Chains A and B, each alone.
Chain A
């Protein structure tokens, strides 16, 4: 059986909120290392990969591999019933029809309990190759969100160009063009504002802004976002969570002119 207790319901609320507009029905794959999810969007352009390590839960118990097929709209409805600071426990039997969610208030004796019916989801699991990226950029997640939203007002696409000079986000559309360039920057007092650029070779790629803006819904999960780029491979946008847990998005590039 599965029993996984999260100190704060807020973490799962934010993760589900960040991905629910991109993917609808997902398997939450539970085993002794934690709870993982991999799902593509309907257009097969983007891939979501979430890992909540067992260390992110206390306690965590999962005796055998269980796939919980959950509709994220249903999960959102139930998670709205939890206060952000509630303790959340996920429970399921070994061959479950439902997943059980228990919300406990740390400050009162309230205990809420919900069951969500599970679905049989036949999901294609993709192998993501280990990649040595040519450019890795760590930057404030709020800054990345603002850049993507600002540029989307002008264009559907953004080119991300990373050289030793810095990283340039540029777009052009019917009304004109725009760009934002960032250089490496260290803020000793506020390290969450750091911009770090690790480059082994110059990279230039074009991506759909609609998807990037969607990924940025995860900004509340982490102060920093990591962008990993290599020419002609999907962009990795990573929000690191505590205990080595993560929420990653992969986006296929636009190719040719």
Chain B
């Protein structure tokens, strides 16, 4: 079913 990715790897701190 795939590995759950992390939202912070798409949206960066700013």
Q: Which residues of A contact B (CB under 8 A)?
A: 40, 44-47, 124-129, 155-157, 206, 208, 233-234, 250-257
Number of B residues near A (Cβ < 8 Å) is 14
Q: A253 — which chain B residues lie within 8 A by C-beta? A: 2, 5
A56 to B10, CA, bound (A): 30
State how many angstroms separate the Cβ of B5 from the closest Cβ of chain A.
Answer: 4
Cross-chain contact A206 with B11 (CB below 8 angstroms): no
Cross-chain contact B2 with A44 (CB below 8 angstroms): no
Q: B4 — which chain A residues lie within 8 A by C-beta? A: 45, 208, 252, 254
Cross-chain contact A206 with B1 (CB below 8 angstroms): yes
5 residue pairs, one from A and one from B, having the closest CB atoms: A127-B14, A254-B2, A126-B11, A252-B5, A157-B1
A97 to B3, CA, bound (A): 42
Cross-chain contact A40 with B3 (CB below 8 angstroms): no
CB-CB under 8 A for A40 and B2, given A125-B14, A127-B13: no
Return the chain A residue nearest B13 by Cβ: A124
Cross-chain contact A40 with B8 (CB below 8 angstroms): yes
Q: In the complex, which of the residues A127, A129, A251, A255 contacts B2, with contact meaning CB atoms closer than 8 Å? A: A255
Cross-chain contact A127 with B12 (CB below 8 angstroms): yes
- Count A/B pairs, Cβ under 8 Å: 61
A133 to B1, CA, bound (A): 23
Return the chain A residue nearest B1 by Cβ: A157
Cross-chain contact A126 with B3 (CB below 8 angstroms): no
CB-CB under 8 A for A250 and B1, given A125-B14, A126-B13, A126-B14: no
A256 to B14, CA, bound (A): 28
State how many angstroms separate the Cβ of A205 from the closest Cβ of chain B.
Answer: 9
Cross-chain contact A250 with B13 (CB below 8 angstroms): no
A206 to B3, CA, bound (A): 10
For this complex, 9 residue pairs linking A to B, each with C-beta atoms less than 8 Å apart, are A45-B5, A46-B7, A47-B7, A126-B7, A250-B11, A252-B5, A252-B6, A254-B5, A256-B2
Cross-chain contact B11 with A44 (CB below 8 angstroms): no
A41 to B6, CA, bound (A): 11
A191 to B1, CA, bound (A): 35
State how many angstroms separate the Cβ of B13 from the closest Cβ of chain A.
Answer: 6
CB-CB under 8 A for A157 and B2, given A125-B13, A127-B12, A127-B14: yes
State how many angstroms separate the Cβ of B6 from the closest Cβ of chain A.
Answer: 5
A48 to B1, CA, bound (A): 24
Q: A46 — which chain B residues lie within 8 A by C-beta? A: 7
Return the chain A residue nearest B2 by Cβ: A254
